[in-house]
Structure 1
Amino acid sequence: MAESNGNSEPVFLIFGKNGWIGGLLQESLKEQGAKYHLADARLEDRAAIVADLEKYKPTHVLNAAGVTGRPNVDWCESHKLETIRANVLGCLNLADVCNERGIHMTYYGTGCIFHYDDDFPVDSGKGFKESDKPNFTGSYYSHCKAITENLIKEYPNVLTLRVRMPIVADLTYPRNFITKIIKYDKVINIPNSMTVLPELLPMSIEMAKRKLTGIMNFTNPGAISHNEILELYKEYIDPEFSWSNFTVEEQAKVIVAPRSNNLLDTERIKGEFPELLSIKDSLIKYVFEPNAQKKDEICAAVREMRGR
C-alpha cells in the first residue's frame, strides 16, 4: 500500500473530529507525538473527501465518524435516512476514495451486531469470531452497521474494529457505558464483551501503522456482567451504592429498540497484543483504581445524576 506523503513517517487524518472517539484519538496521537490532521469533509461529500486527502496527504485515515444517536441508539429508529447516509453511504464512500489512492483506513465499527443464541449460549465461553456473520438486527443502528461491515470487508485497505460498550475513566461522561448503568436504579445483568478505550485506542493506532486489514474484534478478553461492574464501583468508589435488576423483557418496555448482548472472540487481537488485559483487570487498572483517589467527588456527581 502506498505511502501517500512520499516518506516513511505516518501521517494520520481523522474523520469524526468532533465525536467522542475522534477526540480521544487526537489525545492519543498527541501523546505519541504522531503527526495528524483533522478532516473537514462530511463523509457523504466525495469531492470534499478527495480535497482533504489531497490537502493533508495522509498515509493513514482513521474513520471515527458516524451517528450513534442521542441520548442513545433509539434515535436511529426515527432517523433512518440520516443513519443510512452517515453509517452506510458515508463510510463506504470514504473507504472507496482511500482505496483508490492506496491509503490505509481504520474504521471504528461496532460489535453490537451479534447476540447470544442456541449456538452461542450465555456463559458458554464461546465467542463470535471475526468470520462469523452478524445475527442481530434488532435495532436500526445495528442493522445498518451490519450492512456496512459486510460491504466494507471487500476493501483490501480497510481494518474494521468491532467496538462494544465503550468505557473510559471519566465516570461522569454520559456516553461512558459505566456512567450509563450507574445512573439507573435498575439494570439487566448479562455478561458482555466490552472495550476499555484507554487501553485499546492506542493499540488501534499501532494496528494502523502495521497496516492490518480485515475485521478485528476490538474488545478486552472475556465478558463481564452489569452487576460485576457495579460491584467494582461499590468496592472502589461508593460502598453505599445500590441497584436492582430487571429482565430483558422488562427492559424492553422502557426502550424503543432491542439491545445486543454477546461475547466476542479475542484470539486475533491477543495474537497482535499478548499484553492485552482481561476486561476485569483492565477496568480495575484504567478506571477504578485511578478514580478511587477522587471517590467523594464522583459519588456526589453520581448521586446528583440519580436525583438523590
Structure 2
Amino acid sequence: MTSAPAAVGSLAAAVPHVPPARLLADLLPPRHFADARFSTYRASPQHPSQAATVARLEEVAAVIAKPVRKGLFARRTSAPAVYMDGGFGVGKTHLLTSLAHAVGLDVSAYGTFVEYTNLVGALGFRATVDALASKKLVCIDEFELDDPGDTVLMSRLLRELADHGVALAATSNTLPDALGEGRFAAEDFLREIQALADRFEVLRVDGEDYRHRAVVTDSAPLPGSAIRAAAGSVPGATLDAFDDVLTHLARVHPSRYGAMLDGVELVALTGVHPVAEQATALRLVVLVDRLYDRDVPVLLAGGGEHGLFTDEMLAGGYRKKYYRALSRLGALAEDGRALVG
C-alpha cells in the first residue's frame, strides 16, 4: 500500500500578516546560525585577520556584558561600535551571531539592515528607538545603503542608540565610507555616510567563501517532472513557477518574506531563468537571504541558479548582494538534492 502524496503548498499564495510586535520578536539570530559561537568559528591560518577579529570581538563582548555603574560619580563611557568588512562567505554572520550570544540574546537585538528600516516603517522612528534603547547591543547584518533615505534614517537611528549607550555591531561587504557607491549619488550624502563611518571600528575579515570548500554552489538544475514529484513527497513543501513567485514578491513587502516561509520545509521552483530587471533581482536576493536564514532547502528546474543575474548586474553597484545570493542559493540547492535523494 503506497502512502498518499503530501499536500503541496504555494509560495505565491502566501500573504502573511505581520504585526509590529512580531517584527520586534523576530530580531534574533537566524536559525541557520543557532549553534554559532566564537569557539565554533574556524579561523583560516592563511588569513590572520579572521583570528584577530575573533579576539577583538571577544574583548568587545566582555565590555558590553560588564554591568553598568550607576550613580552620581559613575563615568560615562561610549559604547563599542564595530563593523566587520569582508567578502561573502567568510563567516561575518557567524561572528556577529557569536557576539550576540556572548552578550546575551535577552539584551541583544539582531536583524538585517532591511529589517531595521522595515521596523521604523511599522513602528515609527521614536517607538523604534525606545524599543531598541532597552538593549545592550544592536546587531545589523548585511549593512547596505541602497537609497539616500536609508542613509539619513540609519545615521539618525544609530546616533540616537549610541547616545542611549547601546553598543553597535554590523557586517557588510563594503567599507563604511564606500556605502552607497554605484547605487545612488553618494557624494551628495557624504556627510551622513562619513558620520556612519566615524562611529565604527572597522574589523577586516579576509578569506574565501567557505561554501566553495564544502559544497558545489553551481548545481545542475533538475527536470521539472522530478521536482514536482519530489515536492509531493515532502510535507511542508511548496511548488511554484518561478515567474509566479517573482510577481508575488512585488506585491508583498520584503519585511514579510520571512513570514511567507512559516511552516515551509522545501521550496520547489520550475522554469527558473535569468532575471533581467534590477528591482526584481533585489527582491529575489531578500527572499534567498530569508531562505538561508531558515535553512529551507530549494529545488530548481529550468536554468537553475547558473546565470540567474545578468553580467551587468554582477558588475554593478549591487554585485556583492548578487554574489552572496548565488553562493547561498547554490548551497540550498544542494540541500534540496540531499533531502530528496
Same fold per TM (> 0.5)?
A: no
Normalised TM-score (structure 2):
0.28
Higher relative contact order (CA 8 A, sep 6+): 2
Task: Tell which structure's C-alpha radius of gyration is larger.
Answer: 2
Normalised TM-score (structure 1):
0.30
Q: Which has the higher helix share?
A: 2
